[in-house]
């Protein structure tokens, strides 16, 4: 079968399986992402979730702490408060168990911006100008930790577009829109999936945390694959799909997978599914 055009990714699935089937996980992710933002907005009123993505309190009892911020605090030489230690332990345990980079695909508000840039890039058939090494984000993560240790400050808090977007939604954007626009332009015009796929140190952190997690996208029906390339065209980390769709382990075990499920949505042959590592045909 001939490869589908990138701009038509998902079209065959819509015709064959229906609109809902071709968008179900995208819609569920948006509901989750906007739902989290809504809970923060209503925090002072209903008290379910207070604070921000760096440090929050669930039901006025359970602390939640951003692991990247926590690591930087530790590297500055400061001793985090007990609530922060408990909060990071809860977050790390949750994302270590559930699915690789689930925060990136299901919670992070920046994902909405980068997904829109990727969609627009496909529709306008814009070709990437540059190629970056996907390991760059891990080097940036290391640089942030070393920089925090050398400066005694949490460096990422000054230039983090994820936090800037979240603060902007909650309290007004201010100058934070410049960071958001920069990420959008890089993703649209310069590098395919530049932010999520190459730069974001928070994504690198969650990738390491979730490398042994339980729920995995799996090519359970890969014999039916027609190589239409729709899954590759929509995946923020398309390299993670190569091995599961060819031979050997059918599970996407690469820690860079965002668990977003778009590859499942757009596949007209139902090749891919969410499965636990315990119920997978290898």
pLDDT tens-digit series, residues 161-176: 888 888 888 777 777 7
- pLDDT tens digit sequence for 218-266: 999 999 999 999 999 999 999 999 989 988 889 999 999 999 999 999 9
The percent of residues in the chain predicted with pLDDT above 90, rounded, is: 72
Domain around 161: 1-281
Contact yes or no for 197/216 (Cβ under 8 A)? no
Please give the model's pTM, rounded to 2 decimal places: 0.91
What pLDDT sits at residue 155? Answer: 83
Q: How confident is the model at residue 158 (pLDDT cuts 50, 70, 90)?
A: confident
**Confidence check: pLDDT of 282 > 70:** no
**Domain count across the chain:** 1
Q: Residue 169 is encoded by which pair of tokens?
A: 């939604």
Backbone angles phi, psi at 180, to 5 degrees: -65, -45
Mean pLDDT for the stretch of residues 115-120: 96
Q: How many angstroms separate the CA atoms of 70 and 85, rounded?
A: 8
């Amino acid at each position: 079968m001939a490869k589908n055009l990138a701009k038509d990714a998902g079209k065959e699935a819509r015709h064959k399986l229906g609109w809902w089937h071709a968008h179900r996980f995208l819609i569920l992710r948006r509901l989750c992402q906007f739902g989290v933002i809504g809970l923060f907005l209503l925090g002072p009123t209903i008290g379910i979730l207070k604070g921000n993505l760096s440090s929050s309190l669930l039901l006025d009892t359970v602390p939640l702490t951003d692991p990247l911020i926590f690591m930087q605090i530790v590297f500055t030489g400061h001793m985090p408060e007990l609530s922060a230690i408990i909060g990071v332990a809860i977050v790390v345990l949750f994302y270590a168990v559930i699915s690789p980079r689930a925060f990136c695909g299901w919670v992070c508000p920046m994902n909405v911006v980068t997904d829109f840039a990727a969609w627009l890039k496909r529709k306008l058939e814009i070709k990437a100008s540059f190629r970056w090494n996907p390991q760059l984000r891990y080097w940036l993560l290391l640089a942030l930790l070393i920089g925090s240790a050398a400066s005694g400050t949490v460096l990422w808090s000054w230039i983090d577009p994820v936090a800037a977007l979240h603060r902007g939604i909650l309290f007004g954007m201010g100058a934070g829109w410049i960071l958001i626009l920069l990420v959008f332009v890089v993703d649209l015009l310069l590098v395919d999936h530049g932010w999520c796929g190459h730069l974001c140190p928070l994504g690198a952190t969650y990738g390491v945390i979730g490398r042994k997690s339980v729920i995995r996208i799996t090519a359970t029906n890969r014999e039916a694959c027609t190589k239409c390339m729709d899954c590759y065209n929509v995946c923020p980390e398309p390299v993670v799909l190569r091995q599961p769709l060819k031979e050997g382990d059918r599970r996407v075990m690469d820690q860079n997978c965002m668990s977003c499920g778009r590859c499942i949505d757009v596949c007209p042959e139902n090749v891919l599914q969410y499965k636990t590592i315990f119920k997978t045909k290898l």
